[in-house]
Structure 1
Amino acid sequence: MKSKLSFLLLSLLFYHYANAQTAPGFKELLDSAMVRDADLKAQQTRNKLTVLDQHKLKDVYLPTLEVSGMASYLNATARVISPELNLQPFLNIPEGKYNNNINVSGFSGLAKADAKMLLYSGGKVRQLNKALEEKRQSENILLEKTSDEVAAVISRAYDQLALVHQSKKVLDEAKRRLDANRKTADKALGYGLITPYDHKKIELAQATLDSKMAEYEGKKELLLTQLEVLTGIDKERLRLIEPVLVPVALPAPQKTIDQRAEIRALDHGINASGFKIKAEQTWWIPKVQLMAASYYIGLYGARVKSSDNIIPPIPAIGYPGRKLDWKPTNLNIFPMLTAGVGFKWEIFDGREGKHAIETARIDRELLQNQKYDAMRKLTLNQANNQSNYNIANSQIALKKKEKEMANNALVQAEKEFRYGMSKSTQLIEAENDLEAAELDYQNAIFNQRRAAVEVMRSTQELDITKLY
């Protein structure tokens, strides 16, 4: 058992060590950036609100149960004008002489359980649910746009790192040539073939090259820091990346502007507004609800009394009359049940329903205008990106030719300098021209790749596998 555990621990350590010593590929960089991107996470979090609204809308048909209660002191007086007991037929007492005040006092208690359930909403809930589904699809499509933006940012940073890496190779090659030419200059100076001034020119060129090397290190550190922030991958692993810039050959687009995330999201938004209009148009349809309630009413320490006789006096038999003074221990009413079906029909609502319909129609019109404007701008954007890509391709051919010419010129300048037929100034100019031509060629490839990314994004066809 111990040997198996030791083997497992060693395997894990070896895996982490090997992983730490391996340069991350572009896919790992992109996946890590997708997980960490703040805009993408915020958008995904906001989309959860729409899903929650869908659940809330479905739950309106669930029954609700509410329990309430109250305890208080009751003191109420009622004035009774008509007599409770009419003895006129027997005792010849005048009618209407028995005004009385009945007082009820004591501690009261009330408890109520109330249940409700929506049976029919007039079709409004169904239409609102369709509108929310369209809204959810629109938000999910916009996630594609945000994901493409993240991919474009990582791709740019990765290619910038490749450009800096290629620049380092150009500078290293220039340094190698300058070191060789420095030895030739030292010999030429010893033989008196060149002046000390010409020799200083070589030294100045080397110092300039050292300055460019320092600038390269600064740019590289900045790019590594950017990638570390975007992906969360340790900078030491990022240093192992050795990317190479290669021109991108794009196939013909398979999609149109209509497939852009913005357009598809607006289409779903327009559909959602259509369902919202239908939902608002149900304002006049009756809504039906099932209701049930149970009550408990109690009166404790009660006293019911009257201010005057409730039974008038009878002089003929010597009866003095009698007031009401009743002290029951408690009074309880339970259960008191009610149940039934109720409806609500708004025949005239002060035109609120019509105003809500017009508001929903205006919202749909605004979305339609946004789609029209977006189509125009995206069409122009696609044409501009395609033009930039074509120009970038032609620039690669041009810069490649310039690099070949600069390389031939440097070879010729080195031969002439070696045999004392030219000064160091001409050699340094040729060296600078080749260095600039090589860097321009790498920049041309970088620009072409950036243009290719934008062309693919024009029709929502960004495919990283075509780039790396």
Structure 2
Amino acid sequence: MKSKLSFLLLSLIFYNYSNAQTAPGFKELLDSAMVRDADLRTQLTKNKLTSLDQHKLKDVYLPTLEVSGMAGYMNATAHIISPELNLQPFLNIPEGKYNNNINVSGFSGLAKADAKMLLYSGGKVKYLGKALEEKKQSENILLEKTADEVVAVVSRAYDQLALIHQSKKVLDEGKRRLDANRKTADKALGYGLITPYDHKKIELAQATLDAKVAEYEGKKELLLTQLEVLTGISKERLRLIEPVLVAVTPTVPQKTIEERAEVRALNHGINATTYKIKAEQTWWIPKVQLMASGYYLGLYGARVKSSDNIIPPIPAINYPGRKLDWRPTNLNIFPVFMGGIGFKWEIFDGREGKHAIETARIDRELLQNQQYDALRKLTLNQANNQSNYDIANAQIALKRKQKEMAGDALVQAEKEFRYGMSKSTQLIEAENDLEAAELDYQNAIFNQRRAAIELMRSTQELDISRLY
């Protein structure tokens, strides 16, 4: 068992070590960026609220049980006129003289349990459920748009790193040529074929090239930091990346503008507001629910007394009269149970329901306007991206031709300088022209890739496999 554990530990260490020594591919960069992207994570978190609303809506039909209780001291007085207690026929007492105050006091206790369950909502819950389902689909579609934006950001940073990498190669090649020409210049200066001023120009060109190399190293460090922030992958591994810029040929669009994420999301949003309108239109339909309740009422240490005699004096028999003074040990009323079906019918709600319907209709109209505007802008965006792609392709051909001409001119300038037929100024100009042409060519490829990516994004058909 110990040997197996040691083997697994060594395998894990070897895997981590080998993984740390390999350059991450674009898919690994993209997967890591998807997990870490703040906008995507925020959107996923907000989408949980819609799921929670769906669960809350489903729970509307679940029964609710509420238990409440109360304990305290009670003191209540009631003014009573009791025609039932009428001794007028026997005692010849005037009518209407039997007013009395009955006082009840003591410690009271009350317990109550209520149960309710919605049976019929008038169709409102059904339509609200469909509205939430459409809203959820809209939010899920917008995740596609956010994911595409993450791809574009990571792709741009990756291509910029490739551009820096290729530019460094151009500068290194120029440095190699200048070093060779410097040796030629040293010999020419020794033979008196060139002046010290011409020789200094070669040195100045080398110093300028060294400064450009330092500048590109700084840009590379910044890009590595950006990729590290986006993906969470260490700079040590990112430095191992040696990307190459290659022109991209996008596929022929198979989708239309209407299939863009924004348009599809707005479609579901419009459907959601339509169901919201139907839900609000049910305001006048009676709602039905099942109800049941149980009570317990108790009075402890009670005293029931009257302010006046409850039985008046009877002089004929020398009876002084009698007040009420009752002290029961306790009074309990239990159970008091009630159950049945109740309904609520809002015949007139102060036009609140109609205002809610109008609000939902205005929300739908706003979304329809947004969809109309989005279709116009996305159509123009596709045409613009197509134009940019065509221009970028033409620029590649132009920059390639300029690079070839600059290379031929440098070869000719080197020959003339080597045989003393030209000064160092012409050689340095030719070298600068070739360097600029090669960098322009790499920039043209970079711009063409950006244009191709945006063209594919125009119809939501960004194919990573065609890029890397």
TM range (shorter): over 0.9
The SS at the match of 1:109 is strand
Q: Does 1:360 align with 2:360?
A: yes
Question: Is the CA contact (8 Å cut-off) linking 1:134 and 1:269 kept in structure 2?
Answer: yes
Question: Is the CA contact (8 Å cut-off) linking 1:313 and 1:319 kept in structure 2?
Answer: yes
The SS at the match of 1:364 is helix
Task: Report the CA distance between 1:89 and its aligned residue.
Answer: 3.7
Aligned residue number for residue 72 of structure 1: 72
Question: Is the CA contact (8 Å cut-off) linking 1:67 and 1:113 kept in structure 2?
Answer: yes
Q: Distance in 2 between matches of 1:265 and 1:167?
A: 42
- AA aligned to 2:401 is K
Unaligned runs of 5+ in 1: none
Aligned residue number for residue 163 of structure 1: 163
Q: Distance in 2 between matches of 1:78 and 1:2?
A: 89
The SS at the match of 1:246 is coil
Aligned length: 468
Aligned residue number for residue 17 of structure 1: 17
Equivalent pairs: percent with the same residue?
Answer: 88
Aligned residue number for residue 343 of structure 2: 343
- The answer to which of 67-76 and 372-381 deviates more is 67-76
Q: What value does the CA root-mean-square deviation take over the aligned residues?
A: 0.9
Using the size of structure 1 for normalisation, the TM-score is: 0.99
Aligned residue number for residue 95 of structure 1: 95
Deviations 1:331-367 (A, max 9, x none): 0101100111111111111111111111111110111
Task: Report the CA distance between 1:86 and its aligned residue.
Answer: 2.3
Question: Counterparts of 1:391-402 in structure 2 under 5 Å?
Answer: 391-402=391-402
- AA aligned to 1:272 is A
Q: Distance in 1 between matches of 2:222 and 2:96?
A: 105
Aligned residue number for residue 228 of structure 2: 228
Q: Distance in 2 between matches of 1:282 and 1:196?
A: 96
Aligned residue number for residue 259 of structure 1: 259
The SS at the match of 1:134 is helix
The SS at the match of 1:384 is helix
Q: Distance in 1 between matches of 2:4 and 2:79?
A: 96
Q: Does 1:313 align with 2:306?
A: no
Q: Distance in 2 between matches of 1:385 and 1:66?
A: 63
Unaligned runs of 5+ in 2: none
Aligned residue number for residue 61 of structure 1: 61
Runs (4 or more) in structure 1 with deviation over 6 Å come to none
The SS at the match of 1:85 is coil
- AA aligned to 2:404 is E
Aligned residue number for residue 173 of structure 1: 173
Question: Counterparts of 1:178-327 in structure 2 under 5 Å?
Answer: 178-327=178-327
Question: Is the CA contact (8 Å cut-off) linking 1:63 and 1:118 kept in structure 2?
Answer: yes
The SS at the match of 1:12 is helix
- AA aligned to 1:340 is G
- AA aligned to 2:29 is L
Using the size of structure 2 for normalisation, the TM-score is: 0.99
Q: Distance in 2 between matches of 1:239 and 1:117?
A: 64
Question: Counterparts of 1:4-153 in structure 2 under 5 Å?
Answer: 4-153=4-153
Q: Distance in 2 between matches of 1:293 and 1:335?
A: 10
Deviations 1:224-264 (A, max 9, x none): 00000110000000000000000001121010101111100
The SS at the match of 1:71 is strand
Question: Is the CA contact (8 Å cut-off) linking 1:83 and 1:97 kept in structure 2?
Answer: no
- AA aligned to 2:119 is L
Deviations 1:293-327 (A, max 9, x none): 11010111110011111112222222222111000
Question: Is the CA contact (8 Å cut-off) linking 1:84 and 1:310 kept in structure 2?
Answer: no
The SS at the match of 1:437 is helix
Task: Report the CA distance between 1:94 and its aligned residue.
Answer: 3.5
